[in-house]
Amino acid sequence: MAGASITVDYDSREVLSYLRRLGEHIDDLTPLMAEIGEYLAESTRQRFDQQQAPDGTPWAPLSPAYAKRKPKNADKILVLDEILKGDFNYRAGAKEVAVGTARVYAATHQFGRDNIPARPFLGLSADDEQEVLEIIKDYVETL
């Protein structure tokens, strides 16, 4: 995906145990990865309502100059017409899932650039990690 994406390496014995069990029963985890992708894409969209990074820190405020001239949604960061918020999707494969957006300017907001501070929206929160684990557990239980 062009724009912004993030890779998360999650090191947890419990998760690895479930993944090993999955590996013993199935070669194509696309349905599981799609379910995780759906969840993470929605979780990412919710960050625009919460106005915070995955780690819970609030996004940097708008500059006073931009806040004055912003034509609408002046009280919201990274939200003018909700285009970026609505453009998150996922690509599920047999062994992985990628969540992101094709909006090129998303990288500027995720990582910052010049005078624009980073306002991360991609990544896993502690709640996301728990929910992904639950999705994996539920999936394994159906095998």
**pLDDT reported for residue 85:** 93
Question: Which of 37, 57, 38, 36 is CA-nearest to residue 121?
Answer: 57
**pLDDT reported for residue 6:** 55
Confidence band of 73 (pLDDT split at 50, 70, 90): confident
> Is residue 143's pLDDT more than 70?
yes
What is the arrangement of strands in the sheet containing 89-92, beginning at the earlier edge strand?
Answer: 4-5, 97-101, 89-92
- Mean pLDDT, residues 4-26 taken together: 66
Neighbours of 34 (CB within 10 A): 15
Confidence band of 19 (pLDDT split at 50, 70, 90): confident
Phi-psi bin for 116: left (phi > 0), alpha (psi -120 to 50), beta? beta
- Mean pLDDT, residues 127-142 taken together: 90
Phi-psi bin for 51: left (phi > 0), alpha (psi -120 to 50), beta? left
**pLDDT reported for residue 11:** 57
Confidence band of 39 (pLDDT split at 50, 70, 90): very high
More confident residue, 5 or 92: 92
> Is residue 1's pLDDT more than 70?
no
- Mean pLDDT, residues 114-128 taken together: 94
Question: Residues of the chain with pLDDT > 70: what percent?
Answer: 89
Task: Supply 113's token pair.
Answer: 């650039």
Least confident of 5-14, 74-83, 97-106: 5-14
Q: 69-79 as b/e, with b when 16 or more CB fall inside 10 Å?
A: ebeeeeebbbb
